[in-house]
A and B are shown apart, each in its own frame.
Chain A
């Protein structure tokens, strides 16, 4: 298994090709990041505007390596009992009940209090043991036998405290559980960690220092076209070119939320459903809500539709 993984990540070119076969089109920078993440055993912090395929990168990597993808979605108030581990309280309670009943058997033959206590000490402490441990995503990722891809999604949504909680995991691939000790990943099966962030708040330097930092910007026209081709293979060449140049034009405008790749793909699918051959201003007006998510933005673009569409139509003549 590990040899296979090694092969798939052998060079940057191979990674790029493998991604492409899974319909994830990336540039060299992204492939380089994955390559380095594997060879340096370092987590990758992926930043960029929403909808450029940050989460997708982690998922695709997992698919490529045919490893399970363990995902931890971050949100405000996320704490260790949801991210790392939790005790199985019900079973623990039952255990104490059972213990109470069998107590006399265990202590049989003990004379006096001191002897009983020392006998109790000899008796293994199961109450806080792995049997009663409920692993959450982070712990699960460490224990995964084949190794795995760990995706910590939208880490910027979590609290500062949680960030510090991640540090141990990210730098040493280990977690400390006070009652048990330290859980470590197997040396050659360390999880490949991806963190994503939308930059709603600044990630702390301590966390950044432990990660490789990949910034994925909006793609240029060529790359976007390739992505649409890979994701929506049914679309005609002409329409694809028009869509892409239209979207690229929109990104230049002063909008509250500019359309991302995922919107481009959605739009392409929508237009196919509508049996579109060629982009027209009317059609754009009707489907604008697929690519723009704010009424203000739609209003801003409405007035410009004619010009942008014409521009996009001209593009294909080049």
Chain B
């Protein structure tokens, strides 16, 4: 039982549910308390123990259904019957001519399986199969057969399966380990014996052998999905890091968000280090007492419940003009997740005129917010000078020593007035100015790019067009703060 559980947890981890060893132990305890008899109860209990967010719970349910599908494969087979019934029959027909008859009789609905299992039982009273596998197949106990399959699967280490090309091999291996050879021999001898009833039995055996093969194939398929996905996922993550952010699809957004989350956390950590002792506030009786004990209990040196954590204040300005159109999606994604994570992010977008989108981001979903921002501000021609002028007019007052200003853009100003002095003013007032530029460093100084002028007014300028870059920016941020 423990073995099964450990395997199941491996599956959960593959599916991106974080299960710690401590939780594995918990799960084992749960199994001891509630047993494994009631499937629904088991599912609830394990779900409570192992999955810790609503998303994880959903994934958990899927994994549980897949993994423990044998426990009630009767139902499952009936439900899914029609789905693969056809496929099942044609394969069989091509492989053995005899079986096609019985299958046609029982109809191609997939219930065929169940019917034929029953038929065998009825007609088989006169003769007994001799081989172990044969006996098992002809007994009506499907659960026993499945248990046998699972056992065989474990023996040949089916959970090591990695590539879909291995499916055939593993199916064969399981068949072999279950004693296919003996069964074949038996069918052979029965066929040559000549008596009608024995021929009939041989036919039955053949028939159920094919059904068994089919089942094993499904089992292998499922196990493949459960076990082989992990290596695929690693591969994907590796790739993802190097993919240019302009190509990032929405489905990867989850991963982007995680990275941004890390980054934001670091930002917060940096900020909260700046604690200040206050000269007033609540009296810290404990500290005061301790301190003043040495003065004979006279309250001489008074201590306050001192430190107040600074809330980080981040102002983020994002270029969504035509020249960065391929990146703006990512930049906005970044902006959106940043404002989701940090409480006091003010988000701005511009092509030429600056507009605040903080409220929009707070209220809408990612898709909506992106679409609306692009509609309102997007794809015009860039004018950094105008943006900075707007910023100075309306928001300069909000910049102080606690503010970090992050600018996302390529710095291409269409040869307009760059208004560098405004950026310099921000630079002087803010705690930090960070410029993240999606273009490679070599093209920063070419054409209409004004990075040469802007860069000295930033505490930090970084190339940022892939997740690896983003990670690097995060670690640089860390270093910068000390």
Contact = CB atoms under 8 A, between A and B. Distances in A.
A141 B109 CA distance: 62
Given A36-B45, A214-B48, A89 B57 contact: no
A212 B49 contact: yes
Contact of B297 (A32, A86, A93): A93
A96 interface: yes
Interface string B18-33: 1010110010011001
B40 A212 contact: no
Given A29-B44, A212-B49, A92 B289 contact: yes
B48 A33 contact: yes
B51 interface: yes
Contacts of B53: 47, 213
A134 to B, nearest CB: 11
B302 interface: no
Contact of A87 (B30, B49, B286): B286
B49 A215 contact: no
A250 B297 CA distance: 64
Interface in B313-371: none
Contacts of A39: 33
Contacts of B40: 28
Interface of B: 18, 20, 22-23, 26, 29-30, 33-34, 40-41, 44-45, 47-49, 51-54, 57, 285-286, 289, 297
Contacts of B48: 29, 32-33, 36, 44, 212-214
B49 A36 contact: yes
Nearest to B29: A40
Contacts, number: 62
A199 to B, nearest CB: 9
A-B pairs with the 6 shortest C-beta distances? A213-B52, A208-B52, A32-B44, A212-B48, A39-B33, A89-B285
Nearest to A296: B363
B26 A40 contact: yes
Given A28-B44, A36-B49, A214-B48, A47 B289 contact: no
Contacts of B54: 47, 215, 217
A44 B34 CA distance: 17
Contacts of B285: 87, 89
A209 interface: yes
Given A40-B29, A209-B20, 15 more contacts: A12-B41, A32-B48, A36-B34, A36-B48, A45-B52, A87-B285, A87-B286, A87-B289, A89-B289, A93-B297, A208-B52, A212-B26, A212-B49, A213-B48, A213-B53
A205 interface: yes
Contacts of A45: 52
Nearest to A39: B33
Interface in A24-44: 28-29, 32-33, 35-36, 39-40, 42, 44
A52 to B, nearest CB: 13
A257 to B, nearest CB: 13
A44 B54 CA distance: 15
A118 interface: no
Nearest to B343: A201
Given A40-B30, A42-B26, A93-B297, A32 B52 contact: no
A96 B22 contact: no
A80 B267 CA distance: 26
Contacts of B297: 93, 96-97
A213 B289 CA distance: 42
Nearest to B363: A256
A97 B57 CA distance: 60
14 contacts: A28-B44, A29-B47, A32-B41, A32-B48, A36-B45, A36-B49, A42-B26, A44-B48, A86-B286, A96-B297, A208-B52, A213-B48, A213-B53, A217-B54
A44 B285 CA distance: 35
Contacts of B51: 213
A123 to B, nearest CB: 16
B18 A205 contact: yes
B331 to A, nearest CB: 24
A81 interface: yes
Contact of B45 (A32, A81, A97, A211): A32
A81 B286 CA distance: 10
Contacts of A208: 52
Nearest to A28: B44
Contacts of A36: 30, 33-34, 45, 48-49
A151 B52 CA distance: 19
Nearest to B293: A96
A87 B290 CA distance: 12
B458 to A, nearest CB: 31
A87 B288 CA distance: 12
Nearest to B286: A87
B9 to A, nearest CB: 14
A307 to B, nearest CB: 25
B299 to A, nearest CB: 10
Nearest to A93: B297
Interface string A26-70: 001100110110011010110100000000000000000000000
B33 A40 contact: yes
Contacts of A213: 48-49, 51-53
Contact of B57 (A32, A96, A215): A215
Contacts of B20: 209
A12 B35 CA distance: 13
A87 B41 CA distance: 47
